[in-house]
Amino acid sequence: MLLILLAPIAFAATALAQTPPSFNPNVTSTLQVKFGSKSVTPGLALTKAETAKIPTIGTSDEALNGTYIFFMIDLDVPGSLVGGAAGSRVTNLHCLLTGFTSSTMATNSLYTLTTKDTSPKAYVGPAPPVENPPYAHKYVEILYPQPAGFKVPSTQTSAISKGIGFNLTTFVSEAKLGSPVRANWFSVTG
């Protein structure tokens, strides 16, 4: 009986996740992500062409206060492409931008987050390789509050520049970012 009662709770927790299964940290509040007129729902399959330009990001339920840092990370780069073991997967940082602030008025039900910053890593669109069998790469977008006086830790500049193997957990710890507030994800197959 207890198992039957817990199943809906487990399903609800999974349904609320805005990050891919097994991704840590798990975020339950939605970051609205739009490529042109196409709105991303968690796990939506998109094409390389659709995701070539940086998305519009924002919130639909409320305007956010403060300043934010935006990350976009490919979770599924074949390890064999970068000298790793066949069958393994590594990350690739596609975007890390600072200085995002929210509009106070919603346009088309979206409180848009914008920045004038173009660094520490400008947006690079997804370009997963063709794989046999085809493999859908998961791209997570995640938003963190930006601390006052934020600077990229010197120990992280090389990891950001390189992109491949970027460790979000290590970056967050060294940058003292705290917990993420919003997330979303989509997939692109090479």
pLDDT in tens, 145-174: 999 999 999 999 999 999 999 999 999 999
Beta bridge partners of 101: 114
8 lies in a domain? no
Cβ-contact 43, 185 below 8 angstroms: yes
pLDDT of residue 118: 95
Is residue 6 included in any domain, yes or no?
no
- Cα separations in angstroms, 64 against 56, 58, 60, 181: 15, 9, 10, 10
Which residue range(s) make up the domain with 31?
A: 18-189
Q: Is residue 13 part of a domain?
A: no
Q: Provide the whole-model pTM.
A: 0.90
- Considering the chain, what percentage of its residues have pLDDT values greater than 90? 85
Tens digits of per-residue pLDDT, 5-32? 433 433 334 456 899 998 999 999 999 9
Task: Say how many domains are in the chain.
Answer: 1
What tokens does 95 get? Answer: 């975007």
CA-nearest of 16, 130, 20, 144 to 75 is 20
